[in-house]
Amino acid sequence: MSKRVVIGTHNKKKGVELAEMLGPYGLEVATLDDFPTALDVVEDGDTFAANARLKATQQAVHLGEWVLADDSGIEIDALKGAPGIYSARFAGEQATDEDNNRLLLEKLGDLPPEKRGARYYCHVTLANPTGKVRAESHATCRGIIRREPVGANGFGYDPLFEVREYHRTFGELGPAVKRALSHRSRAMRAIVPKLVALISA
């Protein structure tokens, strides 16, 4: 019997990123694009964890599938943790990545590099087909915000987010390095053993 997990996203780049990580375990990976009736879950939680749980549990019950959902975003030190859970809609409900990046640069203005500290945060939740949370993890990745976007890889704030150890943005580093370092990859690596054990059981 097929062992399937549905990744609770319509974001194709995010889906590919997570599917590549789960592929070696013999699990069939689907995304919400494979389910025309997938819910449009209202993310009205007040934390990344709350939103990840909403997306995983509601979708799992609706689809009758194991669902792995994450909520992630960027927290800027100088903005007291903003945009945080509003990262995807920082510049408005219909904002593009470019809109959000432009607003972030406007808000940081001419702050020097030492005051442009930031972290990406990710919370991952796995729910079974009855909607029960079976595993969770979270992780972060620290960096600084560049004065202008560099690189065409990734999505979201990746062209602005410089990983300190590499002096390059996620937009420059490419998918292989991002898989090794990113907040989402770290959170996923922490949950994968539990996920494999639970779905295979």
Annotated binding residue at 178? yes
Q: Is 71 a catalytic residue?
A: yes
Annotated binding residue at 155? yes
Annotated binding residue at 12? yes
Annotated binding residue at 184? yes
Annotated binding residue at 57? no
Annotated binding residue at 77? no
- The catalytically annotated residue of 71, 77, 99, 110 is 71
Q: Which amino acid appears at position 132 of this protein? A: K
Annotated binding residue at 37? no
By annotation, the residues acting in catalysis are 71
Residues making up the annotated binding site for substrate are 9-14, 72, 155-158, 178, 183-184
Going by the annotation, the residues of the binding site for Mg(2+) are 71
**Feature table: binding site:** 9-14, 71-72, 155-158, 178, 183-184
